[in-house]
Structure 1
Amino acid sequence: MPAMTMIQALNSALDVMLAKDPDVLVFGEDIGYFGGVFRVTEGLQKKHGQTRCFDSPIGEAGLVAAAIGMGAYGLRPVVEIQFADYIYPAYDQIVSEAARIRYRSAGEFHVPLTIRTPYGGGIYGGQTHSQSPEALFTHVTGLKTVIPSNPYDAKGLLISAIEDDDPVIFLEPKRLYNGPFDGHHDKAVTPWAKHKASEVPEGHYAVPLGKAATARAGSAVTVLTYGTMVHVAIAAAEETGIDAEVVDLRTLMPVDIDAIVRSVQKTGRCVVAHEATLTSGFGAELCALVQEHCFWHLEAPIQRVAGWDTPYPHAFEWDYFPGPKRLADGLKRALEN
């Protein structure tokens, strides 16, 4: 299999689906001729034509509204929001229209819409280019929310998202775009400093939505996480020598509760980690699920490791991230009780 970065894997997924299904359309701000800010769509317009891969005006609400209409009509639009921070103008369309059409129409209409967007830190973008808004979408009935942590999953999950008959929010961790982040550094001159490519099949394959993966097996404590934090959690376990099991959720909604229960019942301890702010982050939902399903197996309080409850700081980006040291502290707290 060829080695691909996450950018290349996502590009391959879009290429495969454009070739496989004539109803698939890819569009967004600067994604056509320019190939997108991060070059995820590079070469697709040239290969598939301007009616299959094209630029949109700078207007997220209108962009998503048009895609909803296309989906209800029978197409499979894939929309790119340039940064997750720009998705808020389209939030009403996503929540009030896309997520509810199947229910409001009693199943007569559905919207097979995929909204791709880079999220999280890694480019010193601060509060206007580096937010992690995943919890806003997991709260909405009718939406699916997906976050890959490696190139192989990124391609397979994106193909599954495009083939799904309901709207999917597909959040792409910017720190992982150029390959697997090794997770061992709290700070770096460049967020891509330790990146490498990994093997990804060239053709069509699908990673099912709603199924977690065990990124690292262990027996002492479970870490529930996703995206970039998968690699940070693995690094923290390696640096401390703690036998942590790292569960990569991959899909936040629907979340794989069976995988969560199996791991926590085995270890008896749990740490929840994400890059988003702590209060009302998706980690709170994970804590509630573990408490509900695993209470009699828990040997210590559940620990949360997350971003600060502040606006995203430009200058202190690598301190804002939960790095290996903060993860290690969370693992130790879980084992102290």
Structure 2
Amino acid sequence: MTFLSTAMAAITPVDAALEPQLRARLNAKAKPPGSLGRIEDLAVRIGLIQNRLDPRIARTDLYVFAGDHGLTQEGVSAYPASVTAAMVGLFLSGRSSVSAFAKASGVRVRVVDAGVDADLLSHPDLVAAKIRRGTRNAAREPALTADEVLKALSTGFDIAQAAAADGADVIALGEMGIGNTASAALLMHRLALAPLDDCVGQGAGHDAEGLARKRAGIARAAARSDASAPLAVLAEFGGCEIAMMAGAVLGAAAARRVALIDGFISTAAALAAVRLVPAARDYCVFAHGSAERGHPLMLQALGARPLLDLDLRLGEGTGAALAAPLLVAAAHLLTDVATLADVLAEPG
């Protein structure tokens, strides 16, 4: 438990006393007060996270955490588990959807092998951090041991800390893992106290028969354990990549960096992180509202309103890559826009 004690000590709520100064700075700009709506709110959030009136967003690093799930043995996914490793290869080749969006947004992408059920070749953009080769089948036994959960959390924490130390201002979180919408649904069910049926969606694209099979497999897992405490829930139902993302949220918060959260699965990881260390919520910015069924309720449980609403449900960090330029723009609003007094003082 030393890791969690360290994280709790390192993560403090943002200093709300700075907000009136940030608002006053925005209201003094050469524009009507409040006329830039939620971009102004985002600028304030960034200023609070960095604890400065002149925040900067010069670099966003996007980590795509990959892992496999034993729960796929229950038919919860429309695709075979081997797709996870294949997609990792696609990410590293630079030809995936998130690769294209990240290139357009000026975001650096790295892939983390948190628990892929395959031996992956080394690559400059691959972080080898495998906890195990896929989780156990959560419908039959705990997906992870307590030690594996803590190792995943601490590894994610260290990855985020290292990114911050290397100059990242934003640590964006994406994922890849066949079956991980099932795992995320179970986490949501227990940590957001939501009815199980409200947590289960189509995932990667089930038809009606596949969705019924997915619901049945998830129900078997839920019936096997009544875990409700965050660490226990992660052990019973979590994925290596989800637990590692939760640790990365904590690491970003401890470093006073923005944790930019992607969609349904990434939000489940953020939910776990916030249930472990509530102050971490202050450092989370939610990129988009996923079309996955449970996402609106999970965002509601976190008191979050996402930046974008584009009906995305791919994962990979695609929504985070698309939202990243909004953070840059919000920071520049505080630092680069003239004040109304400056404009009025100019001759002519």
Q: Tell me, yes or no, whether TM beats 0.5.
A: no
Which one has the bigger helix percentage? 2
Specify which structure has the bigger relative contact order, considering alpha-carbon pairs within 8 angstroms and separated by 6 or more residues. Answer: 2
| Superposition TM-score, scaled by structure 1 size | 0.26
Structure having the higher Rg = 2
Which one has the bigger strand percentage? 1
